[in-house]
Structure 1
Amino acid sequence: MNRASILEDIQKNVEMLSTPDLPEYKYIPLHQKPSPSVTALQEVMCLLRKVIFPGFFGTEQEAQTDSIQYYTGVYLEQIYDLLQEQIYNGLCFEVERCCDSKDRASRIAIAFINKIPHIKYLLSTDVKAILDGDPAAKSPSEIIFCYPAIQAILYQRVAHELLKLDVPVIPRIITEMAHSDTGIDIHPGAQIGEYFSIDHGTGVVIGQTTIIGNHVRLYQGVTLGAKNFTLDEDGLPLDVPRHPIIEDYVTIYSNASILGRITIGKGSIIGGNIWLTHSVPPNSKILQTRAVEDK
């Protein structure tokens, strides 16, 4: 083909791709507002890891006892500056006009800063839960530095607090960053109690309206998902509670699927490869039945 013919075809496609109101593309709107930066949010999470786990992800000097307050102050200020800008972009991302969002973004960012001590407390309980439940774990330091579950839980707990502050888009970006890195998919809307642990973790999925109590342990491949969806008059799914409630001291073994708005009672054990769509009372033990072999 000659160059003129090639450029003619390119121009035809430019015209089609640059017309956002064509009916064929009605679900791909033109976006002309500020957007959050994944790179900036990655930097925020890197700084948060340094604040919550001092000495693990920074320099040796930062780990000195007499330096912790100084570096924590520096990092919190950097987190605020980065986060308020990203929150502003997120607010603009979801609304028609964002002229009044600067001050709101600033107030949300400092409100989140005030939540960081609580996030650190929760992560401390999670490290303890993993240490108590995994004989292969030699120390809390090994868990913090090596275990993908801690990264996934940290990102989710941060995203969950931002979601509670009505921050759009950004919580989902943060949990999807952890999903990409770890293979653990936890929606920012999931409510997770203290002393939460995930062993191995690959393939774990926890849906938006899941409620998890204290001292809950999951193994790889567990799904806490929806069984079906409630649809509106246009046939679109409604955002209503549709994921399980897992009460305190529950253990769910690998590749179990717990689906729908059901309750797994306190102290229950759900065995591997179980498909469960009904509630079970406290202290239940749900295991696979043995196959009946023909003689």
Structure 2
Amino acid sequence: MSDSPQGRAGHWHLNDIVAQLRSAREQWRSQNGRSCGAQGGRELPSRDAMATLLEQLCGALFPMRLGPVDLREESEDFYVGHTLDAALNALLVQARLELRYATRQEPCNNDAVDAQAVSLVQAFAAALPGLRRLLDSDVLAAYHGDPAARSVDEVLLCYPGILAVIHHRVAHHLYRAGLPLLARISSEIAHSSTGIDIHPGAQIGGSFFIDHGTGVVIGETAIIGERVRIYQAVTLGAKRFPADESGQLQKGWPRHPIVEDDVVIYAGATILGRITIGKGSTIGGNVWLTRSVPAGSNLTQANLQHDDGTQK
């Protein structure tokens, strides 16, 4: 048998498989009223493009720590400007794709969509200095909150919780700006790398610290105050998922916890539903909580149990 590409293709019957895959794609698109994009081009944003521009944004926000290894302070501003220009132009392309996808069922007005995309990316660029200052508070919170941290530089370079928070701060801005798909891609890139799953809709105050981090889940409508610290395997989730008359899950309604300022939540705690954890409370490890608690509460598995072993 020939070892040429043609011979190998015949061995795998690739022509038949390719034809069947094309048929499956066409059937799905027909059933769902979908096309493959304008003039047959790409219809959806690219995860790879988002990963690249997020890496560029990290470098532009923290150039001497997350930027190139040979960067010097005298060329810092040039690097930041050049990198931001590339990242923002790439973000503009992805924003156009998302906006055109979102309006694909409406009369096409690409000029209006392009103008909206430019406006959204301009607003994002203007928000970056404030975003950097907010992230500085998160880095300091991690440094002060972890006795094992030797410097803020170690925290920024090494801690998965900080990487997840950087991505979340970017993603949350995109989410609020009306680019939820780009926001979700940004969050899921960090989720894949860190094991920390923060929905971009979650509202998180400054000086936020996730220690260790693996297995943390923070839902879309969660609201977290200032100076909150949480540990690995914590879930801020929904208790139930009501459906509408047609049986479809209702989306967007508040269903995740509110965590007020200065709360600490230890490893493995599960907090479900639209409940409030009062300011300054401490939630112990592996606690399962579905009711609100007042400010200053200190909950552990032991003080959540009745004498007969059932949960209060």
TM-score of the superposed pair, with normalisation by structure 1: 0.90
Give the counterpart letter for 2:89 in structure 1: D
In structure 2, the CA distance between the partners of 1:251 and 1:8, relative to structure 1 (3 Å rule), is closer
Give the counterpart letter for 2:186 in structure 1: I
Which residue of structure 2 lines up, in the alignment, with residue 286 of structure 1?
Answer: 299
When structure 1 is superposed on structure 2, of 165-174 and 69-78 the one drifting more is 69-78
Give the counterpart letter for 1:156 in structure 2: H
Query: Counterparts of 1:139 and 1:275 in 2: how far apart (Å)?
Result: 34
Identical amino acids, percent of aligned pairs: 44
Q: Does 1:80 align with 2:88?
A: yes
Which residue of structure 1 lines up, in the alignment, with residue 240 of structure 2?
Answer: 228
Give the counterpart letter for 1:75 in structure 2: T
Which structure shows the bigger proportion of residues in helix conformation? Answer: 2
Of residues 253, 272, 292, the one that matches 1:240 is 253
Query: Counterparts of 1:140 and 1:20 in 2: how far apart (Å)?
Result: 54
Which residue of structure 1 lines up, in the alignment, with residue 197 of structure 2?
Answer: 185
Q: Does 1:37 align with 2:50?
A: no
Deviations 1:90-117 (A, max 9, x none): 1122221351311111111111001111
Number of residue pairs the alignment of both structures matches = 288
In structure 2, the CA distance between the partners of 1:88 and 1:256, relative to structure 1 (3 Å rule), is same
Determine if contact 1:20/1:28 at 8 Å carries over to the other structure. Answer: no
Structure 2 unaligned residues grouped into runs of 5+: 1-9
Of residues 247, 261, 264, the one that matches 2:277 is 264
Structure 1 unaligned residues grouped into runs of 5+: none
Which residue of structure 2 lines up, in the alignment, with residue 198 of structure 1?
Answer: 210
Of residues 50, 57, 77, the one that matches 1:48 is 57
Determine if contact 1:94/1:168 at 8 Å carries over to the other structure. Answer: no
Give the counterpart letter for 2:76 in structure 1: I
Which residue of structure 1 lines up, in the alignment, with residue 27 of structure 2?
Answer: 20
Deviations 1:193-236 (A, max 9, x none): 01000000000000000000000000000000000012211111
Determine if contact 1:206/1:223 at 8 Å carries over to the other structure. Answer: yes
Determine if contact 1:54/1:63 at 8 Å carries over to the other structure. Answer: no
Deviations 1:164-193 (A, max 9, x none): 111131000000000000000000000000
Give the counterpart letter for 1:215 in structure 2: R
Determine if contact 1:260/1:277 at 8 Å carries over to the other structure. Answer: yes
When structure 1 is superposed on structure 2, of 153-162 and 74-83 the one drifting more is 74-83
Query: Counterparts of 1:143 and 1:11 in 2: how far apart (Å)?
Result: 48
Give the superposition deviation at 1:250.
Answer: 0.2
